[in-house]
Amino acid sequence: SFRISNGKKPIEPNPEYSHTRNFLNMVNGTPPDDFVEKVFDVSLILYAEHDYNASSFSTRVTASTLADLYSAVIAGICTLKGSLHGGANEKAMEMLLAIGEEDKVEDWIREALLRKERIMGFGHRVYKKGDPRAIILKKLCMELGGKKNAPKWYRMSHKIEEIMEKEKGLYPNVDFYAGSIYYMMGIPIELYTPIFTLSRITGWSAHIIEQHDNNRLIRPMSEYIGPPMQRYIPIDERP
């Protein structure tokens, strides 16, 4: 559907190709080399599952109502649409493109911080001292940049990482280096979040199956923290 929407002929999957090789071939029109295939495969593994993140939790809540797998996956996709969960890798790459060159990184980031803008791809609700998945992708980003003769994306990213750690005490998450990795593979930015879905659907499915196997309706309690003891005013007495 992506190729058709861009005026290109769709490419049939090759049964002799791996899942990752097929995807890259069907998007770009040419099969990737072995290293690119490996890097993309690693990124999908790192994105595949990650505890009770927002989308996985929503799939389990939906599954707990005894909705079928398809409905629960749709709930996960809808949750992933939010920019605080999905889309960070897109924003990270768009930021790098907006900066343009390595010598502009420091001024651009510091000005953005002064404006109190959010630098996407940094911070994590669980990993306060660094996302171990980002460490893996950082190394692969550097290696891929060398092979693609595009080292500036890694150098720019590394410089941003240093500034963010010094100024905000924040570390990159899995999305930060994924953006430039996908860009160097020739993957259009608008496909980055669908790729997240392509990978995470494996984790969602596992959560859904597990929930159905030993089900109990998930119904969290909430605590009211509003003004206490409000007096009821009849409708005809209200201003």
Question: Does the CA dihedral 128-49-134-191 come out positive or negative?
Answer: negative
Residue 104 in domain: yes
Residue 7 in domain: no
Predicted local distance difference test score (pLDDT) of residue 2: 87
Predicted local distance difference test score (pLDDT) of residue 57: 97
197 bridge partner residues: none
Give the count of beta carbons closer than 10 Å to the beta carbon of residue 168: 13
Least confident piece of the model among 12-16, 133-137, 231-235: 231-235
CA distance 70 to 66: 11
Residue 13 in domain: no
CATH of the domain at 79: 1.10.230.10
**Position 78 confidence tier, pLDDT thresholds 50, 70, 90:** very high
Q: What are the φ and ψ backbone dihedral angles of 172, each rounded to 5 degrees? A: -65, 145
**Position 84 confidence tier, pLDDT thresholds 50, 70, 90:** confident
Q: How many domains does the chain have?
A: 1
Pull the structure tokens for residue 236: 């005809």
Among residues 58, 61, 62, which one has the least CA distance to residue 80? Answer: 58
Digit-coded pLDDT (tens) for 104-125: 999 999 999 999 999 999 999 8
C-alpha count within 13 angstroms, C-beta hemisphere, residue 193: 18
Pull the structure tokens for residue 7: 């005026």
Pull the structure tokens for residue 161: 């990482």
Residue 1 in domain: no
**The whole model's pTM is what?**
0.90
Asked if residue 1 has pLDDT above 80, the reply is no
Residue 157 in domain: yes
CA distance 42 to 37: 9
Give the count of beta carbons closer than 10 Å to the beta carbon of residue 48: 16
Residues known to be catalytic: 124, 175
Predicted local distance difference test score (pLDDT) of residue 106: 97
Asked if residue 39 has pLDDT above 80, the reply is yes
Give the single-character DSSP code of 66.
T
Q: Compute the average pLDDT of residues 69-98.
A: 94
Helix or strand run (H / E) with residue 65? none
CA distance 101 to 107: 11
Return mean pLDDT, the chain.
95
Residue 42 in domain: yes
Predicted local distance difference test score (pLDDT) of residue 68: 98
Per the structure, the complete domain to which residue 40 belongs is given by: 34-213
Give the count of beta carbons closer than 10 Å to the beta carbon of residue 73: 21
Residue 25 in domain: no
- Name 103's Cβ contacts closer than 8 Å, sequence gap at least 6: none
